[in-house]
Chains A and B, each alone.
Chain A
Amino acid sequence: KQEVTQIPAALSVPEGENLVLNCSFTDSAIYNLQWFRQDPGKGLTSLLLIQSSQREQTSGRLNASLDKSSGRSTLYIAASQPGDSATYLCAVNQAGTALIFGKGTTLSVSS
């Protein structure tokens, strides 16, 4: 059974820092991996989608990498801002099932 783990569960950084969020999964037979952002009391917003054949995807200050063989993905946020404060979730997509989510990393960026 696929399990997705995100470490750390919470992270606090000062504004301007570069940071890395980690996601690991136990079964490497995935179609893709997706990173989401969730603001308090809101739904999930898709940030980046990495197909299994890709190594990384970039969008603005965000860069997500995927190492399928080792079951790891990272989300790199450059020059963090208070507006980046949110919970970040990763999810993997496998055959025969819907997305399987990690429990998220709650990020707080202080000004």
Chain B
Amino acid sequence: DAGITQSPRHKVTETGTPVTLRCHQTENHRYMYWYRQDPGHGLRLIHYSYGVKDTDKGEVSDGYSVSRSKTEDFLLTLESATSSQTSVYFCAISYGQDGNTIYFGEGSWLTVV
């Protein structure tokens, strides 16, 4: 198994509160990704990073910010959580972007009430 740890694994929070999800890798992979998975929509990219302090937006980035101050950590922040952000969040990593296998974490279940 790829060394990817997501925390917290489960969280219930109230609307309007800030939430930070953490992804930690031990593989020294350059690329890290945050996806959300929802019924009827499948997996959608939120943000990704191609190096320390290098990030870019994905398909559904509104309401989310990310930071990567170290190779091994990629943080996803919901500045003010809304019920529409209730979802399962997956972190993924890959060595390169073009031809390499991508590995996923176990997911973080977030419920916004």
A: which residues have CB within 8 A of B?
31-32, 34, 36, 41-46, 49, 51, 89, 91, 93, 95, 97-104
Contact B33–A49 (Cβ < 8 Å): no
Q: Which of B2-26 contact A (CB under 8 A)?
A: none
Q: Could you tell me if B99 and A89 are in contact, using CB atoms closer than 8 angstroms? A: no
A44 and B99: CB pair below 8 A?
A: no
Asked whether, in the complex, the Cβ of B43 is within 8 Å of the Cβ of A31, the reply is: no
Residue in chain A with minimal CB distance to B102: A99
Residues of B within 8 A of A (CB): 31, 33, 40-45, 48, 58, 90, 92, 97-99, 101-107
Q: Are A32 and B90 in contact (CB under 8 A)?
A: no
| Chain A residues within 8 Å of B102, by CB | 34, 46, 91, 99
Q: Which residues on B sit within 8 Å (CB–CB) of A100?
A: 45
Residues of B within 8 A of A89 (CB): 42-43
